[in-house]
């Protein structure tokens, strides 16, 4: 992300969805520094955002309402699998699609993807949000975690569940209904669709590099 792209986002101009993605901690530091110097209050939250549903959307809207601009962290597929080793199905929706869906979500201004091996506390320490929002239904609302990030946040806002729905519950219901095979099929179909959507130039470049 460049400051030119950031300026367009702040002015509500049309940008490609990928322009909203912050690629590394160095970029995050520059973005946060610019926003703070310009007088913006940063609101932030973290999550997987798998099978995006109404509770997610309401939660993102309430997060955005606590500041002037929102920076939303999303876990990569590898991070999700590491945290949920007992569930081979998660995430259901691959990383590229979760990123794009978040980018098109009205309350989301900027996105940071947490990669495998990266300390999740560093995201908070580098950004130093004015408001850090967590859900009371997640492990992030426990004091064990909050004690690690509190010093880097202006304040911490703990929100109640926004609806009687969760990704975990939806996956459980599908499994009880014999939908495991369908979930795997959906995951594989999404992977194939994303692969097919890649530009011919990118495919040629990959083939060239293999040669």
Mean pLDDT of 97-102: 91
* pLDDT, position 51: 77
Mean pLDDT of 87-113: 86
Instruction: Kindly report the pTM of this predicted structure.
Output: 0.74
* pLDDT, position 122: 93
How many residues are present in the chain? 211
Cβ 28 vs Cβ 123: under 8 Å = yes
CATH superfamily of 3-163: HUPs (3.40.50.620)
- The DSSP code for 23 is -
Mean pLDDT of 154-161: 91
pLDDT in tens, 64-94: 999 999 999 998 888 777 766 555 567 888 8
The number of helix segments (H) and strand segments (E) in the chain equals: 10, 6
Q: How many Å apart are CA 125 and CA 144, to the nearest integer?
A: 16
Cβ 45 vs Cβ 60: under 8 Å = yes
Q: How many Å apart are CA 51 and CA 172, to the nearest integer?
A: 13
Q: How many Å apart are CA 8 and CA 22, to the nearest integer?
A: 15
Question: Any idea where the domains of the chain sit in the sequence?
Answer: 3-163
Comparing 127 with 207, the larger pLDDT belongs to: 127
Cβ 125 vs Cβ 152: under 8 Å = yes
- The DSSP code for 160 is P
Q: How many Å apart are CA 107 and CA 115, to the nearest integer?
A: 23
Comparing 31 with 170, the larger pLDDT belongs to: 31
């Amino acid at each position: 992300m460049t400051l030119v792209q950031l300026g367009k986002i702040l002015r509500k101009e049309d940008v490609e969805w990928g322009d909203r993605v912050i690629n590394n901690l160095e970029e995050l530091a520059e973005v946060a520094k610019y926003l703070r110097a310009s007088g913006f209050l940063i609101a932030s939250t973290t999550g997987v955002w798998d099978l995006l549903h109404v509770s997610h959307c309401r939660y993102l809207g309430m997060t955005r309402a606590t500041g002037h601009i929102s920076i939303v962290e999303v876990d990569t597929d590898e991070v999700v699998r590491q945290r949920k080793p007992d569930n081979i199905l998660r995430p259901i929706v691959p990383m590229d699609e979760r990123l794009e869906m978040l980018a098109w979500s009205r309350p989301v201004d900027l996105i940071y993807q947490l990669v495998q091996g990266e300390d999740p506390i560093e995201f908070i320490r580098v950004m130093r949000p004015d408001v850090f929002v967590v859900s009371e239904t997640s492990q992030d609302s426990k004091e064990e975690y909050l004690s690690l990030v509190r010093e880097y946040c202006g304040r911490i806002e703990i929100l109640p569940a926004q609806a009687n729905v969760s990704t975990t519950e939806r996956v459980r219901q599908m499994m009880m209904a014999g939908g495991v095979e369908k979930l795997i099929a959906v995951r594989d179909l999404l992977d194939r669709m994303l692969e097919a959507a890649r530009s011919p130039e990118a495919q040629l470049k990959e083939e060239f590099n293999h040669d």
